[in-house]
Amino acid sequence: MTPSSTDLRREDAATRPPLPWWPAVFGALLTGAVAFWGLATPQYWFDEAASVSAVDRPFGSLIAMVQKVDAVHALYYVVMYPWAALFGTSELAMRTPSALALVVMSVFLTRIGMAYARRYMPERTVFVGVMVAVLGAVLPGLSWTGQEARGYAMGAMSLTIAWWFFERFREHRHTPSLVGFALFMAAGVGFSLYVAMLLPLFFARSLRWGRRNTVKVLVACLVAGSVCIPLVIVAAEQSGQVSWIDATTREVLRRMALMVFFLSPRNRFGAYNGPVEQIAPWLGLFTILVVALGLIRSRARWIMLWLLSLVLLPFVVILVAQLLGKQYFQERYLTFTAPVLVVALALGLAAIPWRPVGALGLALFTLLSFPSFLGQNGEFAKKDGYKTAAVAAAQADTVIFMDDEARGIFVAYPPDHPVKDPMLAQNKEDSATLWGQSHPGWWSWQLDETGKVSVVAFKPNPYYGAVLQHLDSIGCTITDENLESRFRVTNLKCPDTLAQPARTPVEPGT
């Protein structure tokens, strides 16, 4: 009896030499070193303060909150909730899970790269493994996620593990591998919603595996997709949260080309911002040339084409939406595609005939990435300066927050003494919001306060000048003003007693 193609494939997989583990261990150690280097140094920024606010409350309030805002981050908040309860909400505590997620991702990503090399260029299996290990650790558009108290690193990790299960099924046809694929793809969508766009491409890859296997993959994709449907529906209802995004198509194209992979989308500011932005186009050009070389010369060109489709499809979808008048692009939303680019780039480098040239290319890419490591570790790497604003405002006994979001400075960095918040109408726990709910804006410029007072605005506020004028009229004097962060913080010294009793603000015109 003639053996079937499936039997031959299984026999071929069984006779292949096992993949060595040391490149994956090396990748994990290198990725961990990059991620943990300076992990706690940068000050929190807006999104990270939102993470702290979400997990630092009763669990019931968290569940109520994600039904109103931030549903796309619900899985991350739920994962982080017990972690924060155990380890607190310091920068080190909140960012460590992301660093660990990249370490885990590196192990699976290195194994995937070596599996492709073993199949298409077996003489360079270890070489590709080392390249994936290094590129996964140093790619600026990926390494920053390990120092971010958000779910982007976990999204990249989940997608990579799902991808590893998918390749296990391709090689061994074990149905449990598809269960793992479906579970981790669903998790990937939970951490990073746009991961859902990749499901059709995984299914398309299976079309040549025979009808039975294709049906199994289809079921796995449908299961993963169906699990995500409630999240997609709720996220659509909360789409107003991204209404602040306003970029021209030209600007989106420029940022897609340079700011997703080749510099840290967030923590790149400070002293190294200039060099990092100047180097980014060269990293992009290097990547294009190497991948093009791989498509021309590599025996793995077909798998590289599929990898590029995984990278490019989300960009195309978002760009089409942009042309239709929808704004869904932010660099960090597409970080989950970075691990795929790492493998494509490694396969391209491995296609260079003379191995030392490939190693030299890897060294050059690492050298060009180094300024990003320096930039992402500075105190003001994330630009917003929440701690700077919190320290300035904490000099006061009363803080007038001009915006709900301005309370994020004390969410991220609580003052060491009680502070009166006269604009607060309902706290964040009871209102099931990130920052609490304030009284109407006009309330702020009728407040009669005594002692040390601070006025804090998150962004330009139409009532800010009126507040300062009113405080001046009751005898307050400005002692200092801090503009060294995203916030405007004005400190005043007001009389210890009022000339007349304080009154409750009254809506103008009544």
Distance CA 372, CA 277 (A): 9
Assigned domain for 508 exists:
no
90, 82, 86, 45: which is closest to 62 by C-alpha? 82
Per-10-residue mean pLDDT of the chain, 510 residues long, equals: 43 70 98 96 97 98 95 97 98 98 98 97 97 97 97 98 98 95 97 97 96 97 91 83 86 94 86 88 96 94 97 97 94 97 98 94 95 90 96 98 97 97 97 96 93 95 95 96 96 89 74
321 plus 414 within the same structural domain: no
51 plus 172 within the same structural domain: yes
Assigned domain for 8 exists:
no
335 plus 407 within the same structural domain: no
Domain region containing 489: 386-494
Q: In what order do the strands lie in the sheet with 451-457?
A: 398-401, 451-457, 488-494, 477-482
222 plus 317 within the same structural domain: yes
Task: Give the pLDDT score at 435.
Answer: 97
279 plus 362 within the same structural domain: yes
Non-local CB neighbours of 244 within 8 Å, separated by 6+ positions: none
164 plus 216 within the same structural domain: yes
Assigned domain for 1 exists:
no
Task: Give the pLDDT score at 5.
Answer: 42
68 plus 127 within the same structural domain: yes
Distance CA 370, CA 256 (A): 21
Distance CA 412, CA 385 (A): 11
Task: Give the pLDDT score at 235.
Answer: 83
Assigned domain for 469 exists:
yes
306 plus 431 within the same structural domain: no
Task: Give the pLDDT score at 273.
Answer: 84
- Could you write out the three-class secondary structure of 320-386? HHHHCCCCCCCHHHHHHHHHHHHHHHHHHHHCCCCHHHHHHHHHHHHHHHHHHHHHCCCCCCCCCCH
> Whole-model pTM?
0.94
134 plus 194 within the same structural domain: yes
Max CA-CA distance within the chain?
104
Distance CA 169, CA 333 (A): 28
Task: Give the pLDDT score at 373.
Answer: 87
345 plus 427 within the same structural domain: no
Q: What angle do CA 164, 168, 169 make, to 5 degrees?
A: 120
Residue that terminates a domain, selected from 347, 375, 403: 375
Number of structural domains, the chain? 2
